[in-house]
Amino acid sequence: MFRRLPKAREKYVSLERAADTLRLDMSQLSQFLVTGQLLASIVYHKPFDYREQRDVTLSDGSTAVHTKTSRAEFRFIAPGHEYAQLVYLHREDTARILLNRSTNREMLVARLFYDSTITPKHGIGLLGESAIAILPSDLVISSEELGRFAKAAKIRIRSAPASSIDLPQKPWYDRPIGRTWLAIIGTVVAGLVIMRFKGEL
């Protein structure tokens, strides 16, 4: 007998997908992001073992190709390490990215956070050249943040777009069918207790 594989659940979605799921247009979603009511994330990955090339102009006016190679000689990988990690942005950085109107300007971000508390002890600082350039197209919404915002704003999410998103689930006893079964079990237990006291059991 074949077992049906569990459906894959998305840990994050694009801004467009988030707007559709929350029944908002992009300008409304941007407003919530800029004001910090909804937190944006990025997928952060620090590359290793790579070679990059770029054209450079020498002092005599000629051009050459500059090659930079980065190799990891030794690496410790901690248990549970994620190669592509979802990290949160500070709302000020999100606002700078979304409100940038210059096409040839990139916004550099030097602080990333592992959870939505946005506290320095749960984050990392990128010093000097380590700061990363982030474009609006790099921004995503984590499924956890999507569910939190929908609950706080009392927005009923679209069931079809959200069907594959890993939204926080209510415990079984807080779902409609769970409450129904609890009510039935409670009624049966109460009936048995009453019958016991009446001596019918």
Contacts of 150 (CB under 8 A, 6+ apart): 22, 156, 157
Task: Give the SS3 label for residue 43.
Answer: strand
For residue range 84-133, list pLDDT tens digits in order: 689 999 999 999 999 999 988 999 999 999 999 999 888 999 988 889 99
Per-residue confidence (pLDDT) for residue 128, from 0 to 100 = 86
Check: CB of residue 70 under 8 Å from CB of residue 48: yes
The residue extents of the domains of the chain are 12-169, 171-201
Give pTM, 2 decimals.
0.71
